[in-house]
């Protein structure tokens, strides 16, 4: 899978995201109520604390929930809500073990279409419609995962040249554009 990404804006964290399907999936799960870079640095921090250079769904799913939550809570915490996110990560990993032999990449490797891939992503614990569409756009735009109809299935996030989400971040300049778009969206919502 080795892909060059700049989602975390930290070379060592981005390296992991570029080569580990599970890491990028966990980063997407963490991407809520914290800055995007913090969320996508999370998988690297977790791997480091587990004493590994990658994440393993079997290992995470089998961990004691309290100990795993404590691991995410160590300073600096992996997320603003480390306890609840630890639970979500373990639920995601358990789902992967039960449905994809623990291999996150299997979610998209044999997807028949963009619609099928969206359905698979939306079935993941913690992945609502928007998160599934954003992740589908991220896979298509930056990881070369482009089953037929992927842009349509990703909705507006799949649009070429847009700066709506993490799917569009390729460096500091595009990160600033995505932040500006999100700020504009918040301003539009609050004025309604």
More reliable by pLDDT, 179 or 119: 119
Model confidence at 9: pLDDT above 60: yes
Nearest to 96 by CA among 144, 150, 128, 60: 60
CA-to-CA distance for 108 and 114, rounded, in angstroms? 9
**Average pLDDT of every residue of the chain:** 93
Residue 152: how many CB atoms within 10 A of its CB?
Answer: 12
pTM, full prediction: 0.93
CA-to-CA distance for 159 and 137, rounded, in angstroms? 8
Instruction: Give the per-residue pLDDT at 31.
Output: 94
Q: How far is CA 36 from CA 28, 119, 141, in A?
A: 9, 24, 17
Mean predicted confidence (pLDDT) in 159-177: 88
Mean predicted confidence (pLDDT) in 21-35: 95
């Amino acid at each position: 899978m080795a892909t060059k990404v700049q989602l975390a804006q930290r070379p060592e964290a981005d390296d992991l995201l570029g080569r580990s399907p599970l890491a990028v999936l966990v980063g997407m799960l963490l991407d809520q109520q914290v800055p995007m870079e913090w969320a996508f640095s999370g998988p690297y921090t977790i791997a480091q604390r587990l004493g590994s250079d990658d994440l393993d769904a079997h290992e995470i799913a089998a961990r004691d929930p309290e100990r795993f939550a404590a691991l995410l809570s160590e300073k600096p915490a992996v997320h603003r809500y480390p306890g609840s996110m630890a639970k979500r990560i373990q639920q995601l990993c358990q789902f992967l073990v039960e449905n994809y032999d623990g291999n996150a990449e299997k979610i998209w490797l044999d997807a028949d279409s963009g619609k099928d891939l969206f359905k698979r992503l939306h079935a993941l614990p913690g992945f609502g419609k928007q998160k599934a569409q954003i992740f589908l756009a991220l896979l298509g735009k930056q990881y070369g995962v482009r089953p037929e109809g992927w842009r349509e299935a990703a909705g507006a996030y799949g649009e070429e040249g847009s700066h709506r989400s993490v799917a569009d971040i390729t460096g500091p300049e595009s990160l600033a554009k995505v932040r500006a778009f999100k700020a504009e969206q918040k301003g539009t919502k609050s004025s309604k």
